[in-house]
């Protein structure tokens, strides 16, 4: 039977790109081996994006639109699109044509080799120096904090199958770091090198401040390292303060006749700060546990069942 491909596309103020995007997708998929639907999740646009999509829907029943009631951010918009997608395969793309629709066919053949998720990886970056330096730093920091080994430089375009999509939707956390969830799901993953273009039109919706917030959210969603940092710094302070007491005592007794009073004061403060941080870290660890429990993530992600029926 012919497979259904759902293109899941978050859009936010993309009136300059949207028609070109739709037309390029049509051209690419007209002779494809799959049938397709195009699901736009409008993330509270305040330009004419929604109007343009509605006009297209009049003449093309393969296009669907879900409108979020206000700007939620692209993770939530993508999740909305995935929720309403019916496809056997789901392809996540942005409408700004940075990742070109000509690559769709290669994504389909790659996933048909038997993968659950295929990440697009950019051959080269068509971004300015600052943007690409920022993006490198972003992924590096993320790697350090989360311990994830995400393929790089990661493109937006990626394809996954129905099973993977269902698992993705079973992650109920509201602070959604998409790539983190994808890696947590695991299963059979592959990468595909693709071309990268500058944005077709319009400007990036993620300015520096917003990107920083994205990085912070990703780290908070995926890592408890910041909480553990307090404990580590605390331990270091306690140990070094004790060493300082020892050193100063020896110095005073045998070598230098310095003024008494200030060393004991400093050491007491030093030690006190250390103990404080240490216990703050302990409290942090419990907060971390509460946080991770409250995400209600699935406990495991299975690869295969043999002779067991899925209920
Ligand atoms: N987007 C969204 N909600 C937002 C911001 C952006 O759905 O609040 C969409 C936007 O329409 C685009 C995609 O997310 O399709 C990525 O945004 P953009 O291209 O501006 O970011 P960049 O590629 O520069 O990181
Ligand atoms: Mg973009």
Domain with residue 180: its CATH number is: 3.90.550.10
Instruction: Report the nearest-CA residue for atom 15 of ligand 1.
Output: 94
Using only the alpha carbons of the chain, give its radius of gyration. 26
Whether 212 is in a domain gets the answer no
- The number of domains in the chain is 2
Confidence of residue 311 (pLDDT cuts 50, 70, 90): low
Q: Kindly identify the ligand whose nearest atom is closest to the C-alpha of 81.
A: 1
Whether 16 lines ligand 1, by a CB cut-off of 6 Å, is: no
Q: Rounded to the nearest 5°, which phi and psi values hold at 119? A: -85, 135
* Domain encompassing residue 240: 225-294
At residue 183, the 3 state secondary structure works out as helix
Whether 77 lines ligand 1, by a CB cut-off of 6 Å, is: yes
187 and 277 part of one domain: no
Whether 217 is in a domain gets the answer no
Whether 137 is in a domain gets the answer no
With the C-alpha atoms ordered 80, 81, 86, 89, is the resulting torsion angle positive or negative? negative
Whether 30 is in a domain gets the answer yes
Q: Summarize pLDDT for 240-264 with one digit per residue, the tens.
A: 999 999 999 999 999 988 888 888 8
47 and 82 part of one domain: yes
254 and 159 part of one domain: no
234 and 202 part of one domain: no
At residue 26, the 3 state secondary structure works out as helix
Confidence of residue 94 (pLDDT cuts 50, 70, 90): very high
Q: Please give the number of the atom of ligand 1 that sits closest to the Cα of 203.
A: 20
275 and 194 part of one domain: no
Nearest 5°: the CA angle 201, 206, 212 is 160
Rounded distance between C-alpha atoms, residue 69 and residue 249, angstroms:
67
Whether 27 is in a domain gets the answer yes
Q: Kindly identify the ligand whose nearest atom is closest to the C-alpha of 138.
A: 1
Whether 238 is in a domain gets the answer yes
Whether 206 lines ligand 1, by a CB cut-off of 6 Å, is: yes
Looking at mean pLDDT, say which of 111-125, 219-233, 286-300 comes out highest.
Answer: 111-125
Q: Please give the number of the atom of ligand 1 that sits closest to the Cα of 41.
A: 7
User: Which of residues 24 and 147 earns the better pLDDT score?
Assistant: 24
Mutate to test the pocket of ligand 1, among 45, 67, 74 (most ligand atoms within 8 A of CB): 74
Average pLDDT over residues 139-151: 82
Name the residue with tokens 């790089």: 152
Mutate to test the pocket of ligand 1, among 10, 13, 213 (most ligand atoms within 8 A of CB): 10
Q: Summarize pLDDT for 30-78 with one digit per residue, the tens.
A: 988 899 999 999 999 999 999 999 999 999 999 999 999 999 899 999 9
Write down the pTM of the prediction: 0.83
């Amino acid at each position: 039977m012919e497979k259904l491909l759902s293109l899941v596309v978050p859009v936010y103020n993309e009136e300059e790109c949207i028609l070109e995007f739709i037309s390029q997708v049509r051209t690419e998929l007209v002779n494809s081996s799959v049938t397709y639907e195009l699901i736009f999740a409008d993330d509270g646009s305040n330009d004419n994006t929604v109007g343009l999509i509605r006009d297209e829907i009049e003449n093309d029943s393969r296009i669907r639109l879900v409108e979020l009631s206000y700007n939620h951010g692209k993770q939530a918009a993508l999740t909305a699109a995935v929720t309403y997608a019916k496809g056997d395969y789901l392809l996540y793309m942005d409408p700004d044509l940075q990742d070109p629709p000509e690559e769709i066919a290669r994504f389909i053949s790659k996933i048909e080799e038997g993968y659950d998720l295929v990440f697009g990886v950019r051959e080269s970056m068509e971004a300015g120096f600052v943007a690409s330096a920022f993006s490198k730093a972003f992924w590096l920091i993320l790697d350090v904090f989360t311990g994830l080994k995400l393929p790089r430089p990661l493109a937006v375009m990626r394809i996954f199958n129905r099973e993977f999509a269902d698992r993705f939707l079973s992650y109920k956390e509201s602070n959604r770091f998409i790539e983190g969830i994808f890696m947590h799901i695991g299963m059979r993953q592959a990468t595909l090198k693709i071309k990268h273009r500058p944005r077709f039109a319009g400007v990036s919706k993620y300015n520096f401040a917003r990107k920083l917030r994205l990085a912070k959210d990703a780290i908070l969603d995926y890592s408890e390292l910041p909480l553990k940092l307090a404990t580590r710094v605390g331990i270091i302070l306690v140990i070094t303060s004790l060493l300082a007491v020892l050193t100063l005592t020896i110095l005073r007794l045998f070598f230098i006749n310095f003024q008494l009073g200030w060393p004991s004061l400093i050491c007491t403060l030093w030690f006190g700060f250390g103990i404080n941080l240490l216990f703050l870290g302990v409290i942090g660890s419990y907060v971390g546990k509460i946080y991770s429990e409250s995400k209600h993530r699935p406990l495991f992600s299975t690869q295969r069942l043999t002779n067991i029926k899925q209920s």
